[in-house]
């Protein structure tokens, strides 16, 4: 078995732009905003960066292809820039590239940047686009909410859950994220809401109403990574290191084989198991201090709490209603507002989740700062549809923990 990534790489600096409807900014402006913060935080010069990974998912909507847009936006000094795309998990993919480059010794300091400029379509929701020449001829006419909404019907059928109980738990998830987002000045949506408002909102894709869906946002997030040794030599203390980086990609079993019942994510479960092993986490419900999941829709967050083995199978609703995942609960989930309220500029989201873990562990999270001293934080970044997707699970934590 591979020895894994644990404690081989430390986060030197991070940055994140304000997320939201950035009508007057281009993707390049957002990237520079995140990068400037990260570079200052890292305390290095741009010339010290050896290589960069650049994540965007819907590049045809803004910067176009290749690593060039990042190199040009930041005027990187002719270093390697690799553009990565893995649906909505692209940000985690950029981070993985940079971390592995440092771990391999190929780079001393590496950069990961994710960006998405989505609010140039003229309509709400994600851009409508081709899924590929053949896919377009047989895939259902599915949107993101319509694909994820189906988790609800399958989950209800499997666990014999009442439709309204599920809808109420989903509403609690959104209310919680809105409350958290209200304490985050960089969040796209900063208004608290109540459950009744969620329950009575217009239907987007049954049973998902407007408030069950995350914000579609413009934004960028960025990480600069290096070895713990170099970080220390640069004067850093209280290092946050990478404990696990796992990715699991559907091979078509869910989409084509009747062994999958549609109520959970095979990929998330696979990546989570490997990540806990890599990080040395025996009992995630006890050991994790906090986590950020890919809450593109409320119901995604609900089933993911089970897929990450934090809630028992069929037990997420109870934990949610008990406040287990609230900001003052045992393990806060989406303490920054999550995709739901911080926003979801696709390529940036995986890095944004890590940004929150990083801020919380360094005690820099302002009004939403946890009072206990977070040790392990997990991020879960998902791309695609429940029946065919990529799931990235990353664990970061205090150095030596």
Partner 1 sequence: MSVGIHEFGGYVPIQRLKRKAIADANAWFNPALRGLGKGERSICNWDEDSVTMAVEAARDALGGTGSGSIDAVYFASTTLPFQDRQNAGIIAEALHLGSELLTMDVAGSQRAGTTALTAALKAAASGDRIIVAASEKRRTKAASPIELTTGDGAGALVIAEGDGAAKLLGRATHAVDFVDHYRGQDEAFDYFWEERWIRDEGYNKIVPAAVNAALANAGIKAGDVNHFIFPAAAGRVAAGLAKKLGIPDAAVRDNLQGTVGEAGSAHAIVMLVHALEEAKRGDIILVASFGQGCDALLFGVTDAVNDAKPAAGISGSITRRREEENYNRFLGINNLVNMEQGLRAEVDKQTGMTTLFRNKEMILSLVGGKCSECGTLQYPKSNVCANPNCGAVGTQEDQPFADMPAKLNSFTADSLTFSPDPPAYYGMVQFEDGGRGMLDLTDVDPNSELEVGQPLRMVFRIKEFDTKRGFRRYFWKATPDTEQEGA
From the candidates 16, 88, 222, 296, which is the catalytic residue?
A: 88
Minimum distance from CB of 219 to partner 1 (Å)?
22
Of 321, 338, 252, 324, nearest in space to 284 by CA = 324
Of 30, 207, 27, nearest in space to 117 by CA = 27
| Residue in 256, 283, 318, 373 binding partner 1, rule: CB under 8 A | 256
Q: How far apart are CA 251 and CA 362, in angstroms?
A: 38
Interaction of residue 65 with partner 1, rule CB under 8 A: no
Number of residues in contact with partner 1, rule: CB under 8 A?
Answer: 45
Interaction of residue 387 with partner 1, rule CB under 8 A: yes
Minimum distance from CB of 177 to partner 1 (Å)?
20
Q: How far apart are CA 158 and CA 320, in angstroms?
A: 19
The CA-based diameter of the chain, rounded to the nearest angstrom, is 58
Q: What is the DSSP letter of 367?
A: G
Contact pattern from residue 188 through residue 227 relative to partner 1, giving x for each residue in contact according to CB under 8 A and a dash for the rest: --------------xxxxx-x-------------------
Q: How far apart are CA 340 and CA 189, in angstroms?
A: 8
Is 344 noted as a catalytic residue in this protein? Answer: yes
Q: How many residues does the chain have?
A: 401
Residue with tokens 């030599």: 233
Query: Residues 113, 261: contact at Cβ < 8 Å?
Result: no
Residue closer to partner 1 by CB (options 48, 153) is: 153
From the candidates 172, 294, 344, 387, which is the catalytic residue?
A: 344
Please list every residue from 124 through 163 that binds partner 1, using CB under 8 A: 125, 128-130, 133-134, 136-143, 145-147, 149-151, 153-154, 156-157
Is 213 noted as a catalytic residue in this protein? Answer: no
Minimum distance from CB of 57 to partner 1 (Å)?
17
Residue closer to partner 1 by CB (options 203, 321) is: 203
CB proximity list for 196: less than 8 A, separation 6 or greater? none
Which residues are bridge partners to 242 per DSSP? 396
Q: Which residues are catalytic?
A: 88, 344
Could you list the residues that contact partner 1 (CB under 8 A)?
121-123, 125, 128-130, 133-134, 136-143, 145-147, 149-151, 153-154, 156-157, 202-206, 208, 252-253, 255-259, 261-263, 385, 387
């Amino acid at each position: 078995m591979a020895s894994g990534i644990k404690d081989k790489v430390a986060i030197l600096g991070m940055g994140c732009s304000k997320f939201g409807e950035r009508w007057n900014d281009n993707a390049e402006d957002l990237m520079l905003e995140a990068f400037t913060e990260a570079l200052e935080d890292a305390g290095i010069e741009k010339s010290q960066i050896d290589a960069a990974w650049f994540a965007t998912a819907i590049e045809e909507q803004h910067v176009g292809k290749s690593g060039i847009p990042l190199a040009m936006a930041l005027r990187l000094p002719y270093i390697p820039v690799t553009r990565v795309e893995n649906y909505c998990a692209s940000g985690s993919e950029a981070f993985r590239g940079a971390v592995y480059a440092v771990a391999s010794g190929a780079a001393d300091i590496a950069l990961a940047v994710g960006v998405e400029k989505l609010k140039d379509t003229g309509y709400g929701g994600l851009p409508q686009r081709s899924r590929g020449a053949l896919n377009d001829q047989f895939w259902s006419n599915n949107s993101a909410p319509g694909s994820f909404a189906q988790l609800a019907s399958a989950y209800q059928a499997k666990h014999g859950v009442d439709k309204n109980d599920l809808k109420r738990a989903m509403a609690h998830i959104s209310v919680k994220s809105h409350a958290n987002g209200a304490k985050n000045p960089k969040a796209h949506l900063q208004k608290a809401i109540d459950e009744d408002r969620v329950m009575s909102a217009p239907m987007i894709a049954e049973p998902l109403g407007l408030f069950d869906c995350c914000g579609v946002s413009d934004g960028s997030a960025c990480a600069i990574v290096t070895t713990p040794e170099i970080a220390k030599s640069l004067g850093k203390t209280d290092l946050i290191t990478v404990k696990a980086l796992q990715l699991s990609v559907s091979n078509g079993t869910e989409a084509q084989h009747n062994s999958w019942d549609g109520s959970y994510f095979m990929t998330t479960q696979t990546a989570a198991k490997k990540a806990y092993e890599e990080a040395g986490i025996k009992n995630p419900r006890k050991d994790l201090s906090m986590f950020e999941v890919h809450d593109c829709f409320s119901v995604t967050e609900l089933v993911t709490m089970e897929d990450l083995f934090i809630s028992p199978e069929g037990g997420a609703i109870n934990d949610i209603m008990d406040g287990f995942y609230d900001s003052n609960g045992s393990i806060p989930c989406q303490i920054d507002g999550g995709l739901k309220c911080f926003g979801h500029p696709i390529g940036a989201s995986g890095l944004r989740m890590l940004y929150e873990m990083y801020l919380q562990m360094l005690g820099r999270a302002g009004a939403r700062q946890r009072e206990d001293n977070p040790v392990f934080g997990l991020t879960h970044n998902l791309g695609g549809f429940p029946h065919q997707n990529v799931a990235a699970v990353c664990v970061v934590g205090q150095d030596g923990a």
